[in-house]
Amino acid sequence: MNETLTLVLAWLAGLLLGAIFFGGLWWTVRKGVSSKQPAFWFFGSLLVRMSIALAGFYFVGVGHWERLVACLFGFVIARFVVTWFTGPPVKPHHFATKEASHAP
């Protein structure tokens, strides 16, 4: 197979793995904060997401560091894409409070 095509496919696989990993993280945070057992959601999600990502990197790499780097590059780009789609973090509203005066 053409080496360029192989690297593009590895990059696409990295995008997919990153979308699953970071999309799953976003979903877990939304689900976990309103759950009665948040530790279960966060730890379970971590195990599932890490297992999928590591298995994906293992099968994409198959002893070729170039493929592994291309996959990692796609994984990192997916982080920015998922962050862009899910929106910026919500900043808390800071109400104007009267500062304590320590001067006499």
47 phi and psi, to 5 degrees?
-65, -45
pTM, full prediction? 0.79
What does the pLDDT read at residue 86?
Answer: 87
Number of domains in the chain: 1
How many angstroms separate the CA atoms of 71 and 59, rounded? Answer: 11
Contact 81, 26 (CB under 8 A): no
Whether 47 is covered by a domain: the verdict is yes
67 HSE (CA, 13 A, CB side)? 16
Q: Could you tell me how many residues make up the chain?
A: 104
Range of the domain at 64: 3-86
Q: Which residue has the higher pLDDT, 91 or 62?
A: 62
Question: Is residue 94 in some structural domain?
Answer: no
Residue 97 within a domain: no
Residue 27 resides in a domain: yes
Q: Is the pLDDT of residue 100 over 70?
A: no
99 falls in which pLDDT band (50, 70, 90)?
low
In a domain, 28, yes or no: yes
Within a domain: 32: yes
- pLDDT given for residue 89 in this prediction: 64
Q: Which two tokens stand for residue 54?
A: 């590591």
For the stretch 75-97, pLDDT in tens is 999 999 999 988 776 666 666 56
